[in-house]
Structure 1
Amino acid sequence: MARSQVDHSFFFKKTKRGIVILVVYIDDIVITGSVKDGIQVLIHHLSSSFLTKDLGKLRYFLGIEVARSKQGISLSQQKYTLNLLQDTGYLGLKPVATPMETNVKLKVDDGDPLDDPKMYRRLIGKLIYLTITRPDISYAVSVVRKFITSPRVPHIEAVVCILKYLNGAPGRGLLYRSSGHLRIEGYTDADWAGSPSDRRSTTGYCTFI
C-alpha cells in the first residue's frame, strides 16, 4: 500500500478494479474501499501479522458515531457533544438559535482577563475537534480560537454561546446520501478587512458533495 503525502495515517492501494483504503490511529484501524475481496485480503494479512479484532461495520471511531440507513451514511459526535456539555455544566440549559451573535466584533483587549485561561484553551481544543462533523460552528470557533493566548471575559461569553447552541441539537452531523449526484459545489466569500484588531479579512467557504 502507498502512504498519503497529505496524511501519514492514510494508506491506499489502487488497482484497475478500484481502491482499498486503510486509516490507522495508534491501535485503531478503519478499512474501506470499493474492492471487497481486496479488503478481505488486507484484513487477513493484518491478522496473520498482528493480534487484531474485527469489530465489523464501522459504528464508532475516535468520538465519531457512524450510522447507516436507506438515506445514506451519517456521521455525528453526539456522545462527545453531550459529554462536553455535561462537563461544562451547560447540558439542559435553554439553547440559542445561532452559535454566535450577528456582527459580533471581539477584540484582543476587551474586558477583564480570565482567572483560568487553561480552561478556555481546553474548551477551544474540544470545539475544534467537534467541527469535524459540525461545520455549522466552524466560523464561530475560528473567531474564539484567536484569543487562546490571553482570553478575556467577552471571549468566554462567546464560547458559552456556542455551547448553548450545541445544546439545541447535540446529535446534528453530516449525511452522505446514498442517492443523487456526486458533483462537488463550492462557494466562498470574504469580509474585506473585517477584523477590528488587525484589519485582516476573514474568508469563509462551503463545500457540498
Structure 2
Amino acid sequence: MDVQNAFLHGISKLVSQVLFIHCQHWVQLVESRLFLICEGNDEAAICDLKHFLNTYFKIKDLGPLKYFLGVVVARSRSGITICQRKYTLDLLEEAGLLGAKPAKFPMEQTLKLNPMDGDLPRRPHLNAVLCLICYLKNAPGQGLLFPTHSSLKLMAYCDTDWAGC
C-alpha cells in the first residue's frame, strides 16, 4: 500500500495499536519509507486493517506483493516463498565474483576482525566480505517458505565464540 503522509502522522504508533487489535491473526507489517507491506493468511483481517488505515491516511492498494527491495515474493497453494536470487546475482556481478569458486562457509571460524587491522580500506574486512559473497554463490536462489498450513514457530540458534570476541 502507498501511504501518504504516514510519517507525519506517526504510523509506527498506529501500526502497533493495530497489531494488538489483530493479534489472533497472522498479520505482518513492514514499514519502509512511504510504503507499507501487509501480508497474512486472514483476508478479513487484512481488509479491516486497510479500512482502518484509510480512515487516518490516504492509501492506495498496490495489489498483491511480487517484488520489493530486492525480494521476490511468490504465492502457491503450499504457502508464500520469498527469495533474493536476483539481488544475490547482482551482488556477485557487481563484486566481479560471478566466475569465482563458491565458498563452503560464510567466513573462517577462527577469524577475528579488529578495527585496527591493515591499512584503509581494511584488507581483512574486505576479504571477509568477499568470502561471504562467495558463500552466497552456493545457493543464490535459496529462499524462505512460509507454509499455508503451519503453526509458525520462530526459533534462533547461535554458535558464536563469545569468549574470543
Paired with 1:175 and 1:16, the residues of 2 have a C-alpha distance of: 22
Paired with 2:85 and 2:71, the residues of 1 have a C-alpha distance of: 8
C-alpha contact 2:41 2:148 (8 A) present in aligned 1: no
- Consecutive unaligned residues of structure 2, counting only runs of 5 or more, are 1-10
Give aligned-pair identity as a percent.
41
C-alpha contact 2:29 2:38 (8 A) present in aligned 1: yes
C-alpha contact 2:79 2:147 (8 A) present in aligned 1: yes
Corresponding residue to 2:91 among 75, 84, 88: 84
Scaled by the length of structure 2, the TM-score of the pair is: 0.68
Deviates more, 1:63-72 or 1:29-38: 29-38
- Consecutive unaligned residues of structure 1, counting only runs of 5 or more, are 1-6, 115-151, 196-209
CA deviation profile, 1:114-169 (whole Å, cap 9, x unmatched): 2xxxxxxxxxxxxxxxxxxxxxxxxxxxxxxxxxxxxx212211111011111222
C-alpha contact 1:9 1:23 (8 A) present in aligned 2: no
Corresponding residue to 1:161 among 131, 137, 153: 131
Q: Say whether 1:112 aligns with 2:119.
A: yes
AA in 1 matched with 2:86:
K
AA in 2 matched with 1:65:
V
AA in 2 matched with 1:28:
F
AA in 1 matched with 2:108:
E
Scaled by the length of structure 1, the TM-score of the pair is: 0.56
- Count matched residues: 151
CA RMSD of aligned residues (A): 3.4
Q: Say whether 1:8 aligns with 2:12.
A: yes
Paired with 2:77 and 2:84, the residues of 1 have a C-alpha distance of: 20
AA in 2 matched with 1:8:
S
1:179 shift after superposition: 3.8
Identify if the C-alpha distance between structure 1 residues 98 and 27 changes in structure 2 by more than 3 Å, giving closer, same or farther.
same
Paired with 2:101 and 2:130, the residues of 1 have a C-alpha distance of: 12
Query: Which residue number corresponds to residue 8 of structure 2?
Result: none
Paired with 1:168 and 1:19, the residues of 2 have a C-alpha distance of: 32
Q: Which has the higher contact order (CA 8 A, sep 6+)?
A: 2
- After TM superposition, which residue ranges in structure 1, 4 or more long, deviate above 6 angstroms? none
Identify if the C-alpha distance between structure 1 residues 67 and 193 changes in structure 2 by more than 3 Å, giving closer, same or farther.
same
Query: Which residue number corresponds to residue 61 of structure 1?
Result: 68
Corresponding residue to 2:147 among 177, 180, 183: 177
Query: Which residue number corresponds to residue 25 of structure 1?
Result: 32
